[in-house]
Every structure is written in C-alpha cells, then in structure tokens.
C-alpha cells in the first residue's frame, strides 16, 4: 500500500493519522514501521528505554484487520508510546529505576488497556526520572535504547538542555516526531513542565478521572495520568479514550463517565473570563517567559476573552507543602521494594535486615533516597503533627484559594515554569533549584485540578515557552477548547526543532 498523503507520516498529528488510516492512505503497519525507524534514527536523544518491534507490528497488523473489517476504534492503528511508569505486558516496566531492572509485568495498566481498546498501537516505553521523581529527566537509572549505560534525555530544541521531567522522554518523543502522541504522568507538574520546555501540548486531568491502576506509584494522592501531543485536538482524542471510572481496581478513580472532549473544541470563547494570578507574575519570572505569556494572553483578548486579576495568596507555600506530602507518600509506596518478591536484590548479605538495607541502597538513586528519607522523617513519631498534618491543612487552604478565584473567572492562566529549559547538569549539586522550578504547577496539583501547557512562543535561545491553563474540577473540555482556539490563532504548536 503506498502513502498518498503529501506530508511525511511523522508530520501528521493523531487526528490526521486516524483519518489517513481510515481512508486507507497508509496502513497501521506502515505507520508503526515509520515511527520505529524514527525512534532508532534519533536514539541519541535518549527518549526510548524499550522497543519490541514484534509486539508493535503484531498490534499494527491486528489494527489493519479491524480497519478492513469496519470495526475500527477512534484511535485505530495510531502509534503511541507510554511513559515507563505504566506497566505493560509486552515491554519491560522499570519506572526508570535499577530497582525494577528487567521487570516484566503480567498485566497492562488500565490507561494502556483503554488506549489499546481504542485501537492505539504501542511503539515502546519512554524514559522518565526514577519513580517520576524529578524536574529534568536527569535522574533515570535505565539505559536508553542504543546506550550502554543510563543517560539523560536531551531536549531536541537544544541538546545541551534538559527536556523537563519527570515525563521528559514523553515530551521529547512528541517534539522530535518520534511518536505522534504519548502518555505521561503529573504529580507536581510532570506533564505540564516538560510539555512547556519541549514546545508541545500536555494536559493533566482532574485527579481521579484517569485510573491509576498499573501506574507505578510515587505519591498516591497526587499522581495522575494524562496525554501529551502536538495539539489540543490530539490531546482531546487521547483523553477521551483514557478517562473513565475503574472502581474495581483503583479506589481513587472517580465515578465520572468518560466524555467526548473533542465535541466543544470549536466553541466560541467570547466572554471567557481568564484569571491572572498576581503571584504567578512576580520577580522570579524570567522576562523572556513573561513576554511570551503576555503575548499569548493578548491573543485571548483578541478572541474575545476577558482578563481578570485574581490572587492565589498561598502559592509560595505550595513548595514546602508538596515536598512534605509527596515524599511522605513516596516513603510509604516505595517500602514494597525490598528485594523479597520482585525487582533488584543485593547479591551478598548476612540476614534479612541486611538484605533489605543493601538492596535498597543499591537499587534506589540519590533523589529517590532523599525523598524516602524526608518522607520517613515527616511521618515519624513527634514530627507527624508538626509537619505532615500541617501540610495537609495548608493543602486544603490552597484548594480553597482556587475556589475563591473561580468565583470571578472561568479559567486561570499563567506561566508553566519561571524560565526556559536549563542546561544539563546545571542544577546537579542543588536539588532545591529543581524543586523551586515547580512553583507554578504545584498549586493546581495539590488542589487536584485539571491543568495544561499550551505552546505560547519562544524565549531565550529560541527555546519553547508554555502557557499554563488551569480549570475547575471536571473542566477539561473548557481547557481544551481554550487551548484549541489559541492554536487556531497561532502556529507555535506546529513548529519543530531543526535537524529532525
């Protein structure tokens, strides 16, 4: 079957690929082979950590059979890739950690299953910070495809820079056209921040809208799956397939039916009230980022939206609150990795306790150990009330701040991060610098609100800048509509790194 589209396959978005496959312009096998070849040709970026060509092509052949039979799903034959935090039967699942090196899951995560049910074909697994802990994707302990040792993921706009994290491999795969769309996870900004740094679109839905079953846990009250793609339209297609209740397997899954997030993409945003929080535009915001965000907000005004000044007074407290709650939950979740049932086990030990100690010392990286120790400390006797309980109280106040703000606006807009992507190794000796970079994404995560990053222009060195949009609970359709209308008026989401 010959390809009749005028664009190269890797330049087609999810919607265009789905249409081309239905119109028999190319086959699912051709699309899969094309993207697998792209993944291998650009493996220097370190985006993929696992490929399984036989499994991918078998899925593609099955998709072609369904397309021929007229029983195609919404994403039939569209190639996607998954962050290596989701367990998969056909690919190893390591969460970027030596602790899970070589682990093969006996089942697929619910999000993986739902996308497969919609017809998506899995290309492989994508690099991420170990157990999703990081803002730069420099914390992975797994060798990317084509590498003999662990290596950081590189931003395709400037390979001396970080791509953001923890979903860095996911963002790079989309930006470099190694996959049309991918899954990511967002605990404190891990979809939105790398999407911003790599110039793509990413959305974190309301906490509980997408099942966490089969998603290797970091912080259970914060972790949320979401799609990353080039456009809001493509994200809407994926999110429609990913969401839905999963009460039998995930107790945090909300009993809210999935919806067609594409249905209202083209609605007018005339009269839409966009809240501008004063706290997001303070002295820590780089001038180049502010200029791009301001220009995007002016576009919204041209489209008929109204900018409304608002306040989120506890924004600064989100960093200490998050870095108490998230490590506390991590220390509990990661206690299962002890070398007994699965994963890495130390070779030489004297007794059971010694095996625990050596296994965990060898298996976990520095950032994971740091967070486990912080979490164990704040949960320990005598400190629980002083730290963890106080953090939970302030978390509720942060959520209340948003509800007060939404009385006078429909959406909230601002920067995703204070700067563009920084140099690899720049924050190496200062983990706090990474933590501070999450200041604008953490408040929405703590409140469990939906949020997204939309390409908004370019800053220093021609590096991408993302506009963050935050909605009230279950307002994903409104977010995607606002993002889509901006993308109809601008072309930032269509631009791609040179040399690819």
> With helix as H, strand as E and coil as C, how does the chain read?
CCCCCCCCHHHCCHHHHHHHHHCCCCCHHHHHHHHHHHHHHCHHHCCEEEECHHHHHHHHHHHHHHHHHCCCCCCCCCEEEEECCECCCCCCCCCCCHHHCCCCCCCCCHHHHHHHHCCCEEEEEECCCHHHCCCCCCCCCCCCCCCCCCCCCCCCCCCCECCCCCCHHHHHHHHCCCCCEEEEEECCCCCHHHHHHHCCEEEECCCCCCCCCCECCCCCCCCEEEEEECCHHHHHHHHHHHCCCCCCCCCCCCCCCCCCCCCCCCCCCCCCEEEEEHHHHCCCCCHHHHHHHHHHHHHHHHCCCEEEEECCCCHHHHHHHHHHHHHHHHHHHHHHCCCCCCCCCCCCCCCHHHHHHHHHHHHCCHHHHHHHHHHHHHHCCCCHHHHHHHHHHHHHHHHHHHHHHCCCCCEEEEECCCCCCCECCCCCCCHHHHHHCCCCCHHHHHHCCCEEEEEEEECHHHCEEEEEEEECCCCHHHHHHHHHHHHHHCCHHHCCCCCC
* CA torsion, ordered 335, 339, 341, 347, to nearest 10 deg: 180
pLDDT for 1 equals 39
The rounded distance, in Å, linking the Cα atoms of 450 and 113 is 22
Q: Of 15, 83, 97, 204, which residue is the catalytic one?
A: 83
Using omega within 30 degrees of 0 as the cis cutoff, is the peptide bond preceding 460 cis?
Answer: no
- CA-to-CA distance for 98 and 142, rounded, in angstroms? 7
Query: Contact 262/237 with Cβ under 8 angstroms?
Result: yes
Cβ count near 268 (within 10 Å): 10
According to DSSP, the β-strands at 121-126 and 79-83 are parallel
Task: Tell me the backbone φ, ψ of residue 309, rounded to 5 degrees.
Answer: -70, 135
Q: What is the pLDDT of residue 2?
A: 40
Tell me, yes or no, if 83 is annotated catalytic: yes
User: 442 with 317: CB under 8 angstroms?
Assistant: no
Six-digit token pair at 371?
């967070």
Give the residue from 254, 243, 257, 251 showing the smallest Cα distance to 110: 243
> Catalytic pick from 93, 97, 136, 190?
190
* Pair of tokens at residue 277: 């929080």
Contact assessment for residue 146 and residue 43, using Cβ atoms and an 8 Å cutoff = yes
Angle at 64 between CA 61 and CA 65, to 5 degrees: 90
Residue 93 appears among annotated catalytic residues: no
Catalytic residue check, 341: no
495/175 Cα distance (integer angstroms): 9
Scan for tokens 């950590």, then name that residue.
Answer: 49
Spot the catalytic one: 166, 170, 318, 445. 166
Which parts of the chain sit beneath pLDDT 50? Answer: 1-4
Q: Which of 299, 191, 181 is nearest to 231 (CA)?
A: 181
Two tokens at 22? 């239905």
**pLDDT value, residue 7:** 87
Q: Tell which residue, 370, 328, 362, has the closest CA to residue 344.
A: 362
Q: Residue with structure tokens 């070779």?
A: 347
d(CA 478, CA 265): 8
Note the pTM of the prediction, 2 decimals.
0.96
């Amino acid at each position: 079957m010959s390809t009749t589209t005028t664009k190269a396959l890797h330049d087609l978005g999810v919607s265009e690929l789905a249409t081309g496959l239905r119109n028999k312009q190319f086959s699912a096998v051709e699309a899969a082979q094309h993207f697998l070849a792209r993944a291998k040709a650009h493996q220097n970026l370190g985006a993929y950590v696992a490929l399984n060509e036989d499994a991918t092509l078998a899925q593609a052949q099955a998709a072609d059979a369904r397309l021929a039979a007229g029983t195609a799903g919404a994403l039939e034959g569209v190639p996607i890739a998954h962050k290596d935090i989701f367990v998969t039967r056909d690919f190893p699942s390591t969460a970027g950690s030596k602790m899970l090196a070589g682990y093969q899951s006996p089942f697929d995560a619910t999000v993986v299953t739902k996308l497969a049910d919609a017809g998506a074909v899995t290309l492989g697994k994508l690099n991420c910070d170990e157990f999703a802990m990081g803002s730069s994707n420099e914390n992975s302990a797994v060798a990317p495809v084509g590498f003999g040792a662990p290596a950081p993921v590189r931003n395709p706009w400037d390979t001396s820079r970080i791509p953001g994290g923890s979903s860095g491999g996911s963002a790079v795969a989309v930006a470099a056209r190694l996959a049309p769309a991918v899954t990511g996870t967002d605990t404190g900004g891990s979809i939105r921040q790398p999407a911003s740094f790599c110039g793509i679109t990413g959305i974190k839905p309301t906490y509980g809208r997408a099942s966490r079953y089969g998603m290797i846990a970091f912080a259970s009250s914060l972790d949320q799956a979401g799609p990353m793609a080039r456009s809001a339209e493509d994200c809407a297609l994926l999110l429609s397939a990913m969401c839905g209740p999963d009460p039998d397997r995930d107790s945090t899954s909300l009993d809210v039916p999935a919806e067609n997030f594409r249905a209202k993409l083209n609605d007018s945003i005339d009269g839409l009230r966009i809240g501008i929080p004063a706290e997001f535009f303070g002295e820590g915001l780089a001038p180049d980022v502010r200029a791009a965000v301001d220009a995007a907000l002016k576009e919204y005004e041209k489209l008929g939206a109204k900018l409304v000044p608002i306040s989120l007074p506890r924004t600064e407290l989100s960093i200490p609150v998050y870095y108490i709650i998230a490590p506390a939950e991590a220390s509990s979740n990661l206690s299962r990795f002890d070398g007994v049932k699965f994963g890495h086990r130390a070779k030489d030990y004297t007794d059971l306790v010694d095996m625990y100690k050596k296994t965990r010392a060898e298996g976990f990286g520095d950032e994971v150990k740091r967070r486990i120790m912080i979490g164990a400390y704040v949960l320990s006797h005598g400190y629980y009330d002083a730290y963890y309980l106080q953090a939970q109280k302030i978390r509720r106040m942060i959520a209340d701040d948003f509800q007060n703000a939404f009385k006078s606006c429909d959406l909230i807009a601002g920067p995703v991060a204070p700067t563009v992507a920084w140099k690899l190794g720049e924050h190496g000796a200062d983990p706090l610098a990474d933590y501070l970079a999450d200041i604008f994404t953490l408040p929405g995560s703590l409140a469990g609100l939906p949020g997204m990053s939309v390409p908004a222009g370019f800053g220093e060195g021609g590096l991408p800048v993302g506009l963050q949009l935050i909605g009230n609970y279950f307002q994903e359709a409104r977010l995607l509509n606002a993002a889509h209308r901006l993308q109809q008026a601008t072309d930032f989401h269509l631009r791609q790194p040179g040399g690819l």
